[in-house]
Amino acid sequence: MDYLLKFTSKAAAENALFTELTETIDGVIETSPLPKYTAVDVIGTIYKATGNFTTVNGLNIPEMVAVTGYHANVRHNDEAPELDQYIVEVNTPARVWA
């Protein structure tokens, strides 16, 4: 199952998508994020063009604005109904699984 997700913040996304793995390696305690799902693609903030342009060093550059939310894609072998609250319908996704 593939999920296109939108969270209110990075912290909310990390809380929903990861757990912490704590290991002792060569006497050093290390903590790292461990995905709760088969594959997690953290996109973060997505930007879209406003249709306006600005000139920078003689070049016309499209003006971009942030889309609200913090975005991620999840691919999981089983259904994950706990993610339903974060699912968004997108006509043209910024990134998809190949």
Range of the domain at 14: 2-86
Total domains, the chain: 1
User: Given this model, what pLDDT does residue 98 score?
Assistant: 84
Name the nearest CA neighbour of 75 among 34, 42, 31. Answer: 42
User: pLDDT tens per residue, the chain (98 residues)?
Assistant: 999 999 999 999 999 999 999 999 899 999 999 999 999 999 999 999 999 999 999 999 999 999 999 999 999 999 999 999 999 999 989 899 88
Q: Rounded to two decimals, what is the model's pTM?
A: 0.83
Residue 96 included in any domain:
no
Euclidean distance between CA atoms 89 and 79, whole angstroms: 17
Euclidean distance between CA atoms 98 and 95, whole angstroms: 9
Residue 98 included in any domain:
no
Name the nearest CA neighbour of 76 among 19, 17, 20. Answer: 17
CA–chain centroid gap for 36, Å, is 14
Residue 12 included in any domain:
yes
User: Given this model, what pLDDT does residue 28 score?
Assistant: 95
Residue 31 included in any domain:
yes
Residue 95 included in any domain:
no
